[in-house]
Amino acid sequence: MTFNASRTLLLEIDLQNDFCPAYTLPSGENSGGALAVNNGQAVIPPLNALAAALCAKGGWVAATQDWHPPGHISFASSHAGKKPGETADGGQVLWPEHCVQGARGADFHDSFEAKYANLILRKGFRMGLDSYSAFFENDRQTPTGLEGWARFLGIDTVIIGGLATDYCVFYSAMDCKRLGFATIIASDAVLGVDIPEGSLEGAIKTMKEAGIIFAPSKDLLKDIL
């Protein structure tokens, strides 16, 4: 696998405190983000390495950041009688309150080297509209602006990593492929929530069937360097 670094974008999805366990209690249990992916912080070191290598060769990096207002439509607490994991009218999946604008949970994880990001794209900031994909809001019509920015730069290849595989990574990758970019998942730099059970396996299967490439970061680093 070869690609031109100067025409390649690394897309780092939602490397935020609320999606990562923050610390370990004396009991050994993780205590951290409101919607923590198990061992979520493990995806960050390979993405930091990819970002540094890509930038050194004239490539590009974009990072997304969930950025919800209080009372956002995706919060179970915004719907009377509803619990996280249930759905609201219209099929909106409901979650615990997470990544609230200005709160520590919305901050990037301390180990994430955001200095390499040429663009930080905030999504999910519209009160009545959720956003999983880095390219489109969940109405599947409202663009985030990422596609236009990437095309302006002449990007033809996008490497994707982050959280979570079966939601924001999945929707971003599927849109990326549909828009005509060569799409690669850094396989050791993604982790899923698997809610509901089976969603993670299904997302990986669907992405592979769509022609999205999965490759470990060590192999991608060889192509960059």
Question: What does pLDDT average to in each consecutive run of 10 residues of the chain (225 residues)?
Answer: 89 96 56 85 97 96 97 93 87 91 92 97 95 95 97 97 97 98 98 92 98 97 84
Choosing from 14, 18, 166, 175, the catalytic residue is 14
Q: 61 vs 9, 48, 54, 207, 224, CA distance in Å?
A: 5, 10, 8, 22, 13
Q: Give me the catalytic one of 168, 175, 176, 188.
A: 168
pLDDT value, residue 22: 65
Rounded CA separation 32/50 (Å): 26
Residue whose pair of structure tokens reads 């919800």 in the numeric block: 68
Known catalytic membership, residue 205:
no
pTM, entire model: 0.93
- Per-residue pLDDT, 195: 84
Q: Is 55 a catalytic residue?
A: no
20 catalytic residue (yes or no): no
The count of other CB atoms within 10 Å of the CB of residue 119 is 16
Whether cis (ω within 30° of 0) applies to the bond prior to 196 is yes
CA–CA dist 127, 69 (Å, integer): 6
Marked catalytic residue, from 20, 66, 123, 130? 123
